[in-house]
């Protein structure tokens, strides 16, 4: 369609999107209409002249992707999809109601939303993932991502910028809605477009500065982005916050403020009504895309993965077994990919890079974009394993939070857990990672103690719906399981038990071996304990924990290479909370320091010696009444 | 001193620093000698020709600051301070031993370390804080910060870059040790110095590219930085990783690898010995600085702060009371400052900006640098209150972790806690923030329910040694406390009690009011509960919780606008774990959604109605044996 025919139609669509945003937020009594108005022309042109997608099949694997990184413009997103025919326009007025999936910020409850946004600087990272995915499946689908100007202050945006240019993602087009006004004050550079351009160009992007309300310029920019090879494009659109309504245009104080009933609303709608123009033809959506053939075979079951090949007693670090495990997965399933943040030699993801270099994505020292990109890859159907030191995963804690909200299938592996890493000291020790991941609904948390269970759990994790966190350790530990042992997410293993156990010790990872040493010491001294490997930290096997506690005098001792709050002790306490079982928590209770691993386990109260002392202390009490 | 006299001495110092780094890491059996060798010339010149400091008084309030953001080069830092006379050189060989404060990565156990580093991209953010502090106290002390090239991939570095240039921090000099080799592979741009320069210049810094082993060039660069007005400087030093030892220079595979006993070590030391040159004079440290007069008055006690002036029943949001509280603090203590990330109108820190614009630091939407800068400010003696939406504090979770390790006195306020924010939906709801802060040792966690307790707790927080987290809510809540009520960190309030209480309900924030409604409903139906406001979530008043539980049939019900793990339920369970008291946890147990606040409290199981049901359910059980 020629521009003369196209533009009036697009202008009218933009006007409708503005009206819809204002109406919906008015009905809801909250929301960000002015943030929607600034981007309406950009979104109109994108949806109705640029992107290839099927509104009846938003998850189409080959359709272009649109990620609204400035998630507070959700009403605009919803209006665009309604305009495209994905659902009835009348639903727009249910915005933010408890019974509506049109929430205040977009979530993947909606089929056209890949990842939840609303925490700024995240959608652009997920866009890296969807763009990488296009390359992975040899598709020419493009990813478009709308970010806010204020959002550009977030460091994660610049992690994404580096990742995209290092990977030469010319299938990625960013658009910055430079409306100059933040939430509480004007943004850093307001309408100094050169400040944006110089930054994006410095980071290797092709930058195009345009008037964000000039539809010709917008269409030219999208075309120029499409024609640009070897680097991503950032369209810097100079816009007016509240565009279309005279008394909101460019005025401070309108962020997150719906229009009020009466004169305010009526006047705004009247002004917008006047902005409709005669349009010679109606706009059809760009060409339909063909559904590819269905995936030929069903995804491999965990059983298809090559089994562990260790011998009992082999000394293998679980972090190394992780590396082996993801390679085995990669061998049976081409949709398994891996991501690193310059620690692949420590996490052993380097094994995957060696085997499948095209499916390995290096982010350099940038954990936020690593997790964000994993979210985008997972949303598009890949199975991404993203790994780093567990303590550095806290750098991406807000992404972990949004991943839980999105319930997207990222598989995170954190190595170098706890004080058992030794001399590097506390900055490299993860002591709060179990708490971080247990806090969120939807995240399965696995903590294997040996190489066999590591391989088995990694395979289970791959096909578990939703996010998974796998915690691995630095030191070598002995293999204690055999190829016949079965593991389940939500399971546990009883390693030692007898009818005379005076307490149950629940451990995981390195503390399993401390517990087994304690078992031996106590046995030599004439008393017995039950020992449980809680390799599934979330969910836990509540029934089995309760049964064990009841069978051992109502006494459970938890011991974890982790701080005291939010981890294994918390999980076990919750599991037995409706019984009389008492839980005694052993954990690291102060900031640790450098030292040898064995010294540190002892100094910080979680070694075998301390377990023995704890058993003696709790067994000395009268048993709680059994039921 | 003229250059001809100075440079040979500095060269010899650099050689000694290399020898010390190699010896110390050899003794320790671990560490990063090659990362130290690349920066030895830069550090030699910095310590012995550029910075003004007193090695016997490293915390001098007016001395220049050096922050080693690439914390793994710790041996180099230690060697420099030993060389300067801060402690005996022989201690260097105790690196990484459990009994030594010379840990694997620097912590403020050492007097010359402001904030713990080792998690990359953080030191540079703290440097923003120490530079802002110089301005705050009208001192011309300079801040120097050494970062790694791989570290530059971290998004937080670019948050700091924007903050520094927006504030025109010409008292800040960064140095990037561009040694081209990361941990697991060469860095993004290796020795393409222009890639670094174009980025720093784009972000508004003065960038100087030099040969990082040319002492003349290094000294010129420090001088040029000092002479540069209105913008910070980044010296981009092209260096060789492992410089000084022929077989490590520029070779991959040497990251984090100490030299081995025997030929490797001996050869390296022999080569370095040969690098000593005749030096005409010995290097004295730059001019001593004068100790300022002692702070004239002792810091104000919390009692000096203007008391709350609300009337019982006033409807005030705790987030707004926070804004009032920090203004009152600012009025009595000039060292109180505030930081924002473009949400000041929501957190009410805007009140502080209005009252004390020179003590208010706007970071725009960049939470990592906000918290990092707060750490730097606190390390230098300010009392920084940094606030944003509580959910966005997870963006800085790794900084919170390092703040705990540093035990530095940052005061974080997170608003918009829980589902009670309503229609904005889960991306804006903090439901894991209590877990995040409780997980760390050293962090006090406060959660006031009304405006009076908010003001009192904020004042206590200011003078509490170490980090504090204050959680505030969006909705207005009624004032229930009077100006005579006393609050303590570690305390709680019993709001309702009688001899017939069938259970204790422990609540905080908005759930206090749900619990009080439940109390009224149960009372009307003829049964009584004890109600506790757990305004101090960490530490908790264990004795009082145990006493209450024992007095109410051994039954405690916790109810929090937070997920189930790691928060109030966890804290109370731990507190009573050595008793027979059973804790029933009420919390949000799934990802929430948009809706009205009251609808959401009810839908997600933490409203008055649910509390009543829970009381009836637990009270129906036979009471656990009282003691």
What pLDDT does residue B626 have?
A: 41
Q: Which two tokens stand for residue B152?
A: 């530059």
- pTM tops 0.90, yes or no: yes
CA distance A222 to A235: 8
Q: Are strands B315-317 and B233-238 parallel, antiparallel or unpaired?
A: unpaired
Provide the H-helix boundaries in B47-136. Answer: 74-83, 123-136
Cβ–Cβ under 8 Å, residues B474 and B500: no
Check CB contact under 8 Å for A98 and B439.
Answer: no
Phi-psi region of B487 (alpha: psi -120 to 50; beta: other; left: phi over 0): beta
3-state DSSP call for residue B402? helix
Residue A627 lies in a domain: no
What pLDDT does residue A377 have?
A: 98
Of B188, B570, B593, the CB nearest to A566: B570
What pLDDT does residue A299 have?
A: 73
- Do B24 and B54 lie in one domain? The reply is yes
- Do B97 and B235 lie in one domain? The reply is yes
Check CB contact under 8 Å for A394 and B395.
Answer: no
Kindly list the distances between the CA atom of residue A242 and the CA atoms of A237, A255, A259, A274, A278, in Å, as whole numbers in the listed order.
Answer: 14, 9, 11, 16, 23
What pLDDT does residue B84 have?
A: 96
Distance from CA of A523 to the nearest CA of B (A): 25
Place of tokens 């990488």: A132
Mean pLDDT taken over chain B: 96
pLDDT band at B294 (very low <50, low <70, confident <90, very high): low
Which residues on neighbouring strands pair with residue A68, listed in sequence order? A146
- Do B466 and B581 lie in one domain? The reply is no
Check CB contact under 8 Å for B425 and A346.
Answer: no
Cβ–Cβ under 8 Å, residues A452 and A394: no
Residue A239 lies in a domain: yes
Cβ neighbour number for residue B426 with a 10 Å cutoff: 28
CA distance A488 to A391: 26
Could you confirm whether B50 is annotated as catalytic?
Answer: no
pLDDT digits (tens, 9 = 90+) for A251-277: 999 999 999 999 999 999 999 999 999
C-alpha A131: how far from chain center: 16
Distance from CA of B50 to the nearest CA of A (A): 29
Instruction: List the CATH number of the domain containing B174.
Output: 3.40.50.970
Q: Which two tokens stand for residue A528?
A: 């017995």
Q: Is the pLDDT of residue B292 over 90?
A: no
Q: Which of residues 369-398 of B touch A (CB under 8 A)?
A: 369, 391-392, 394-395, 397-398
Kindly list the distances between the CA atom of residue B208 and the CA atoms of B152, B188, B201, B222, in Å, as whole numbers in the listed order.
Answer: 16, 20, 10, 10
What pLDDT does residue A626 have?
A: 42
A128 touching chain B per CB within 8 A: no
A vs B, Cβ pairs < 8 A, gives: 347
Q: Is the pLDDT of residue B624 over 90?
A: no
- Do B37 and B173 lie in one domain? The reply is yes
Q: What are phi and psi of A29, to 5 degrees?
A: 80, 10
- Do B465 and B423 lie in one domain? The reply is yes
Q: Which of B190, B365, B604 best tests the A interface by mutation, with the highest count of A CBs <10 A?
A: B365
CA distance A478 to A450: 6
Residue B504 lies in a domain: yes
- Do B89 and B216 lie in one domain? The reply is yes
Q: Which two tokens stand for residue B532?
A: 């506790």
- Do B468 and B497 lie in one domain? The reply is no
Report the residue of chain B nearest A116, measured CA to CA. Answer: B427
Q: What are phi and psi of A561, to 5 degrees?
A: -85, 75
Dihedral angle over CA of B412, B415, B417, B423, nearest 10: -150
Residue B121 lies in a domain: yes
- Do A498 and A473 lie in one domain? The reply is no
Residue A307 lies in a domain: no
What pLDDT does residue B621 have?
A: 62
Residue B270 lies in a domain: yes
A194 touching chain B per CB within 8 A: no
3-state DSSP call for residue A438? helix
pLDDT digits (tens, 9 = 90+) for B211-245: 999 999 999 999 999 999 999 999 999 999 999 99
B176 touching chain A per CB within 8 A: no
B118 touching chain A per CB within 8 A: yes
Instruction: List the CATH number of the domain containing B550.
Output: 3.40.50.920
What pLDDT does residue A281 have?
A: 78
Check CB contact under 8 Å for A577 and B590.
Answer: no
Cβ–Cβ under 8 Å, residues B385 and B361: no
Q: Are strands B504-507 and B493-496 parallel, antiparallel or unpaired?
A: unpaired
- Do B406 and B470 lie in one domain? The reply is yes
Q: What average pLDDT score do residues B50-71 get?
A: 95
Q: Which of B100, B432, B555 best tests the A interface by mutation, with the highest count of A CBs <10 A?
A: B432
- Domain assignment of residue A601, given as a range: 493-619
CA angle B379-B382-B386, nearest 5°? Answer: 90
Check CB contact under 8 Å for B185 and A363.
Answer: no
Which residues on neighbouring strands pair with residue B588, listed in sequence order? B563
- To 10 degrees, what angle do helices B397-406 and A397-406 make? 140
A32 touching chain B per CB within 8 A: no
Q: Is the pLDDT of residue B285 over 80?
A: no
Cβ neighbour number for residue B346 with a 10 Å cutoff: 22
Kindly list the distances between the CA atom of residue A206 and the CA atoms of A85, A160, A229, A251, A523, in Å, as whole numbers in the listed order.
Answer: 33, 14, 9, 31, 69
Of A155, A427, A574, the CB nearest to B405: A427
Residue A264 lies in a domain: yes
E strands within B49-205?
A: 65-68, 143-148, 172-178
Residue B392 lies in a domain: yes
What pLDDT does residue B372 have?
A: 98
Distance from CA of A151 to the nearest CA of B (A): 6
Of A97, A364, A624, the CB nearest to B150: A364
Report the residue of chain A nearest B621, measured CA to CA. Answer: A578
Q: Which two tokens stand for residue B53?
A: 């400091």
Residues of chain A with pLDDT under 50: 625-627
Check CB contact under 8 Å for B564 and A585.
Answer: no
Number of structural domains chain A divides into = 3
Q: Which two tokens stand for residue A474?
A: 């630095």
Q: Which two tokens stand for residue B78?
A: 């230690």
Report the residue of chain A nearest B579, measured CA to CA. Answer: A582
Q: Is the pLDDT of residue B627 over 90?
A: no
Which of B232, B253, B288 marks a domain boundary?
B288
Cα end-to-end distance, chain A, whole Å: 78
Which of B448, B478, B508 marks a domain boundary?
B478
Q: Which of B25, B104, B323, B370 best tests the A interface by mutation, with the highest count of A CBs <10 A?
A: B104
- Do B388 and B498 lie in one domain? The reply is no
E strands within B416-474?
A: 444-446, 468-471
């Amino acid at each position: 369609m020629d521009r003369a025919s196209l533009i009036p139609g697009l202008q009218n669509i933009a006007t409708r999107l503005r009206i819809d945003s204002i109406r919906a937020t008015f009905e809801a009594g909250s929301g960000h209409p002015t943030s929607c108005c600034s981007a309406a022309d950009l979104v109109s042109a994108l949806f109705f002249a640029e992107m290839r997608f099927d509104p009846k099949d938003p998850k189409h694997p080959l359709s272009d992707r649109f990620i609204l990184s400035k998630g507070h413009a959700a009403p605009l997103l919803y209006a665009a999809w309604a305009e495209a025919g994905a659902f009835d326009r009348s639903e727009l007025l249910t915005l933010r109601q408890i019974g509506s999936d049109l929430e205040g910020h977009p979530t993947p409850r909606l089929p056209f939303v890949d990842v939840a946004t609303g925490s700024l600087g995240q959608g652009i990272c997920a866009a890296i993932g969807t763009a990488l995915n296009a390359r992975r499946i040899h598709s020419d689908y493009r990813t478009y991502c709308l970010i806010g100007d204020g959002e550009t202050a977030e460091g994660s945006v610049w992690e994404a910028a580096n990742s995209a240019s290092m990977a030469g993602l010319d299938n990625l087009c960013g658009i910055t809605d430079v409306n100059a006004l933040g939430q509480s004050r004007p943004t850093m550079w307001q309408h100094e477009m050169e400040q944006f351009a110089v930054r994006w160009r410095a980071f290797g992007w092709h930058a195009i500065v345009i008037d964000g309300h000039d539809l010709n310029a917008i269409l030219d920019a999208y075309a120029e982005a499409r024609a640009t090879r070897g680097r991503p494009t950032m369209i810097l659109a100079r816009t007016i916050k509240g565009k279309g309504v005279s008394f909101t245009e460019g005025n401070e104080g309108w962020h997150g403020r719906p229009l009020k009933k009466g004169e305010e609303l009526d006047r705004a709608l009247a002004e917008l009504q006047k902005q409709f123009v005669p349009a010679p033809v109606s706009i059809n959506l760009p060409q339909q895309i063909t559904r590819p053939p269905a995936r030929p075979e069903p995804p491999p079951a965990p059983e298809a993965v090559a089994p562990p090949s260790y011998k009992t007693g082999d000394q293998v670090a679980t972090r190394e077994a992780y590396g082996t495990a993801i390679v085995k997965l990669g061998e049976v399933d081409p949709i398994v990919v891996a991501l690193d943040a310059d620690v692949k030699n420590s996490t052993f993801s380097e094994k995957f890079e060696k085997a499948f270099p095209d499916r390995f994505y290096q982010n350099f020292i940038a954990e936020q974009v690593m997790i964000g990109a994993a979210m985008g890859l997972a949303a598009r159907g890949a199975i991404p394993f993203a790994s780093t030191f567990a303590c550095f995963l806290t750098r991406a804690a807000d992404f972990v939070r949004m991943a839980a909200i999105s319930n997207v299938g990222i598989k995170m592996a954190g190595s170098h857990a706890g004080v058992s890493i030794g001399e590097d000291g506390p900055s490299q020790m993860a002591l709060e990672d179990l708490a971080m991941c247990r806090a969120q609904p939807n995240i399965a948390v696995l903590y294997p103690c040996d190489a066999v269970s590591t391989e088995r759990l990694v395979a289970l994790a791959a096909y578990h719906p939703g996010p998974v966190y796998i915690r691995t350790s630095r030191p070598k530990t002995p293999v204690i399981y055999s190829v016949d042992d079965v593991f389940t997410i939500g399971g546990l293993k009883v390693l030692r038990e007898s009818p005379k156990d005076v307490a149950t010790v629940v451990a995981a990872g390195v503390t399993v071996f401390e517990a087994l040493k304690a078992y031996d010491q106590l046995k030599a001294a004439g008393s017995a304990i039950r020992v449980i490997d809680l390799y599934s930290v979330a969910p836990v096997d509540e029934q089995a924990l309760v049964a064990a506690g009841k069978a051992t005098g109502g006494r459970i001792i938890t011991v974890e290479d982790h701080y005291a709050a939010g981890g294994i002790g918390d999980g076990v306490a919750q599991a037995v909370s409706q019984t009389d079982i008492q839980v005694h928590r052993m954990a690291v209770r102060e900031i640790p320091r450098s030292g040898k691993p064995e010294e540190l386990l002892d100094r910080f109260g979680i070694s075998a010696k301390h377990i023995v002392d704890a058993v003696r202390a709790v067994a000395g009490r009268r048993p709680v009444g059994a039921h």
